[in-house]
Structure 1
Amino acid sequence: MQNEATIGYRLDSLPLSGYHWRLLGLIAAGMYFDSFDIYIAGTVLAAMIHSGESTLKLNAMFVSVTFVGMMSGAWLSGVLGDRFGRRFCYQFNLGIYGFASIAAALAPSMYWLIFFRLVMGIGMGAEIVVGYGTLSEFIPAAWRGRFGTILNLIINTSLFLSTFLGWLIVPHYGWRWMFAIAGCGALFVWFLRKSMPESPRWLASRNRTDEADQVVSTIEKACGVDSATAIAAAAQQPRRAAPGNGRLGDLFTRRLLTRTITGITVLVALFIVNYAFVSWIPTFLVKQGHSVSNSLGLTSVMFAGGPVGSLIAFVLAERVGRKWGIVLFSLICAAFGAAYPFAQSEVMITALGFAITCCIYVLSSFSVATYVPELFPTELRLRGSGVSNTAGRAVSIAVPYVVAWAFTGFGIAGVLTLIVGTLLVQALIVGVLGTETRKRSLESIAAEVSDTTDASGQSVNARAASATEP
């Protein structure tokens, strides 16, 4: 009888094939519309102010409930995804988001739109947790980091599309079409994703090994691998004791606490740095005396560092690794951040802004897209990711107020001090507490924190740690 370790060995031993790319496409498509909807908010709210359908106070409420919904969705997806499965959760949350978007397009008033935005936020927050977590459980260990960075790159291109379509559609056809596009797109992807299988690792973690074997055999056939040979090779690997269902409280026990602290740290740091710099840089430039037009022009050049950062992460994910990649780019970004307040010319301001944006997207690719889901065992993967994302979203609600206070009291230097301090704390905590996950099976990573022992008193998972790596 197979267990999670042998199922994981078979998945990690597969050659990269069209199956993996199709899986990436289906997961990326759902997360793309999720991200698209986040970015259309600015265009829609500006149009509603112009038409008199909303006020600044109502717009602020719209933004606030988005974050509240995403925070709630991140939490719920962790609980539901580990309890009922990845397939149930990614279909459930995408359905919620898609139908709520359609309802938002038909909203009779701003108050109804705010309510539907809260529901949409739940789906959007859940999709991030489930998408990255599910992908990590299917992709072979040698490619897992690079696939995470590709997914991150695809998602972040939605900023350009949402801005372009907003410019093209809203002035002529109104803001409702933006929600209709997002909702119809999400529901179309929901239909396509009905063919996606359940995660074999999750099935095995629930002792549903026959179902897990059937899914893996189907994937092996698609990859041109003989299942009998793969099963025979996997049978030679040391067995891992069957895991329990896992409880939320396990994340805060001694064996997993350092993993939980690490996951929370990298996502809290990412959201602080991202929202403090990327979301506020146009305002900073205007306050420093640049015209609005010039500010937006400089910002556009700076933000070109985003896709460059994702490409750098793709190259380095399986070379430098996630742990040391986060530490290294936290320090590099901190150095650029410390230099930024002293830049005088537009060229230097733009160059440093480009470099900081680039580092932020490298960190995003390493952390939320790859590292956090890898930290937790299968039975707790989505709950661990959910708790980490929930903490990050909660902090992001307060970030605008902290940034405004820092800028008002200390200028751009105050904001950059916040950013640099956050990056240094992240580098320290990840460097001390973090574990490296590069090219390692998920079972090997989980075995480091398992205290399961066999009859002789030896740690079963510790002995299996290196042997489960292909």
Structure 2
Amino acid sequence: MSIAGRIERLPWTSFHTKLLGLLTLGEFFELYDLFTGGFVASQVASFFKVPSATGIYYTVAIFFLGAFVGAIIFNYIGDSIGRRTALIINMAITSVALLLIPFSPNILTYGLLRFIAGMGVGPEAILVLDVLITEFFPSAIRGRALAIGYTAAWTAPIVVAVLAYFLLPHKYLLYGWQWLFIIGGLGILTILPFRFLIPESPRWLESKGRVEEADKIVKRIEEIAIKEKGQLGEPLQVQVITSQRVKISELFSPLYRRRTVMLWIFEFLQAGVYYGFASLAPSVLFAKGFTLVHTLQYTMIIYTSYFISSLASIFIIDSQKFDRKWQVSIVMLLMGLVGLAFGFSSSPLEAVVSGFAFGFLSNIFSNAFHQYGAELYPTRVRAFADGVQYSLSRLGNYIWLTILPIVLYSNGPVAMYTIVFIMALIVTLDVAILGPKASKIELEELSK
């Protein structure tokens, strides 16, 4: 009777609700930091007296370079010595870096601290929500659990937008952009102790041969389930292969080669599409000639769409009729088309409507692909495999968010979003042709 088989028979209990709440707190502050960069880039450029494109580079692009490095390092730690250990260390690093950033004496120090903050944030979405939800929740509800977690976390861009609106135009002892980083750092420091309440993944423990430890955790969950829901059904028959070390070569074995190639192409290019809007929308609006106050107002409206979108995804993410494969590929194509419309927009109404539509599509896509990428590999290599392919998106973020602002300021928004559309088209074809179906398939079966 395997640990994985016992997890697969579990209903949703108060344990799952509390765990999801703890995991969501960390993801909230990851998104807080990701969206802070888009708001403060212009102010940082002005503060350090550098060009706008340089401000975006040191605020946004170099942050994702750090995230690229962090995703590889911490997800390797997650597979080697434990998910829980990795997510405590990465959160501590992020908090310290964010609290130091506002006091940077020059743009190079600022960039170095943004790189370090990126290292901490890099593995957050993968380890905290993607991997742990995938491993703690049974297949019938794991997609819905992930969508709920992201939906709650996606209040972060709205919070950032509201804070930016009230803080950026003013100086309260420190400049508004400095306060945004301080608030993020203090928030992460506050929730860090709660990370110690998150148990180690029993699926990971089982894959490492530490069955007794895994059994204690699952027994506790089963006791809660019996108390709340009544007698449990028989455990499912799930084959589990144990391994004491991560075998990187397995990603290119005949069994996983096709999906590895698909995910690596996908992750590298989707980063330019998704963050070509999410991180650059305020800069694009500013480049179109809107004032700072109007840019902040329009962005506040646009960013509410991310929360609404994530809420809508709860009801479709586990659909077998609209499999996660098609949620990812079809919605990506629509994002590319709407991005073009945003690039061509000339009036406030056109910009807000097209921007809102892009944001709405974004999290139907994002929630689906976060679950999709995490469930295509076996437990023994999941965090590392997901971390490597997701780190490619961070590398893509660095490259595209270095190139796209240069295109924006030299050739304009239309040229920039034409490039974004081409990337979206390639991603659509990549997933549609090479990607397997995934919705409501048992994790161990899907990983075969």
TM-score by length of 1: 0.82
Equivalent in the alignment of 2:446? 445
| Kept in 2: contact 1:149–1:365 (CA 8 A) | yes
- 1:85 Cα offset (Å): 1.0
Which of 136, 142, 147 is matched with 1:144 structurally? 142
**Residue type of the alignment partner of 2:50:** L
Q: Secondary structure at the match of 1:165?
A: helix
Q: Deviations over 1:383-412 (max 9, x none)?
A: 111111221111112213433465577654
Distance 2:86 2:378 in 1: 18
Could you tell me how far 1:443 is from its partner in structure 2? 0.8
> What's the CA shift string for 1:96-134, capped at 9, x where partnerless?
222333444666666544433332221111222211211
**1:220 — aligned with what?**
222
CA distance in 1, matches of 2:358, 2:63: 26
Q: Please give the residue correspondences for 1:5-84 in structure 2 after superposition, counting only pairs within 5 Å.
A: 6-41=2-37, 54-56=48-50, 59=55, 60-84=57-81
Q: 2:161, 2:300 within 8 Å by CA — same for their partners in 1?
A: no
2:157 alignment partner in structure 1: 159
Per the alignment, residue 304 of structure 2 pairs with 304
Q: Residues 5-404 of structure 1: matches in 2 within 5 Å?
A: 6-41=2-37, 54-56=48-50, 59=55, 60-104=57-101, 112-131=109-128, 132-166=130-164, 168=166, 171-174=171-174, 177-224=179-226, 233-234=234-235, 237=237, 239-243=239-243, 245-285=245-285, 294-319=294-319, 320-337=322-339, 347-368=349-370, 370-404=371-405
SS of residue paired to 2:226? coil
1:171 alignment partner AA? K
8 A contact 2:94–2:120 mirrored in 1? yes
What residue is the counterpart of 1:419 in the other structure?
Answer: 420
Q: Is the 8 A contact 1:270 1:363 kept in 2?
A: no
Q: Is the 8 A contact 2:13 2:228 kept in 1?
A: no
2:159 partner letter: L
Listed as ranges, the gaps of 5+ residues in structure 2 are: none
Of the structure 1 ranges 63-72 and 33-42, higher mean CA displacement relative to structure 2 is found in 33-42
More displaced, 189-198 or 284-293? 284-293
Partners of 1:436 and 1:251 lie apart in 2 by: 18
Taking the aligned partners of 1:392 and 1:285, their CA distance within structure 2 comes to 25
Q: State the SS of the aligned residue for 1:255.
A: coil
Higher mean C-alpha displacement, 39-48 vs 353-362: 39-48
Q: Retained in 1: the 8 A contact 2:158–2:304?
A: no
User: Once the 2 structures are TM-superposed, how far is the Cα of residue 363 of structure 1 from its aligned partner?
Assistant: 1.0
Aligned to 1:69, the other structure's residue is in SS state helix
Question: Aligned partners of 1:401 and 1:49: how far apart in 2?
Answer: 15
Deviates more, 1:74-83 or 1:303-312: 303-312
**2:306–2:363: 8 Å Cα contact kept in structure 1?**
yes
Change in CA separation of 1:425 and 1:147 when aligned onto 2, cut-off 3 Å: same
Shift of residue 33, structure 1, vs aligned partner:
2.0
Partner of 1:464: none
Q: Provide the rounded CA distance (Å) in 2 between the counterparts of 1:423 and 1:44.
A: 27
SS state at 1:56 partner: coil
User: Equivalents in 2 of 1:75, 1:43: separation in Å?
Assistant: 27
CA contact 2:268–2:392 (8 Å) conserved in 1: yes
Code of the aligned partner of 2:84: R
Q: Residue 330 of structure 2 contacts residue 428 of structure 2 at CA under 8 Å; is this kept in 1?
A: yes
Partners of 2:272 and 2:401 within 8 A in 1: no
Q: Tell me how far 1:64 sits from its aligned partner.
A: 4.2
SS class of match (2:255): helix
Shift of the 100–411 alpha-carbon distance from structure 1 to 2, 3 Å rule, reads closer
Output the amino acid matched with 1:79: Y
Q: Normalising to structure 2: TM-score of the pair?
A: 0.86
Q: Which has the larger radius of gyration?
A: 1
Structure 1 residues 64 and 304: alpha-carbon distance in aligned structure 2, compared to 1, 3 A threshold:
closer
Superimposed CA distance per residue, residues 157-189 of structure 1 (whole angstroms, 9 cap, x where no aligned partner): 212223433555672142555444333332332
**What is the identity, as a one-letter code, of the residue corresponding to 1:138?**
F
Deviation of 1:301 after TM superposition, in Å, equals: 3.5
Please say which of residues 316-325 and 153-162 is displaced more in the overlay: 153-162
Alignment partners' CA distance in 2, 1:225 and 1:206: 30
SS in 2 for 1:207: coil
- Contact (CA 8 Å) 2:38, 2:282: kept in 1 or not? no
Give the Cα separation in 2 of the matches to 1:187 and 1:403: 33
Structure 1 distance, partners of 2:289, 2:182, is 39
How many pairs align? 438
Distance 1:238 1:285 in 2: 52
- Letter aligned with residue 365 of structure 2: L
- Provide the C-alpha distance between the structure 1 equivalents of 2:281 and 2:261, rounded to a whole number of angstroms: 29
Query: AA paired with 1:11?
Result: I
Q: Distance in 1 between matches of 2:244 and 2:230?
A: 28
8 A contact 1:267–1:367 mirrored in 2: no
- 1:451 matched residue in structure 2: none
CA RMSD between the two structures = 3.2
1:408-444 Cα distance to aligned partner (Å, 9 max, x none): 7765443333222222222222122212221122111
**AA in 2 matched with 1:276:** G
In the alignment, the residues of structure 2 paired with residue 419 and residue 269 of structure 1 have an alpha-carbon distance, to the nearest angstrom, of 9
Mean Cα deviation higher: 408-417 or 216-225: 408-417
Distance 1:226 1:216, change over 3 A: farther
Q: Structure 1 pair 11/108, CA: closer, same or farther in 2 (3 Å)? A: same
Q: Percent identity?
A: 26
Match of 1:458 in 2: none
Instruction: Tell me the secondary structure at the aligned position of residue 233 of structure 1.
Output: coil
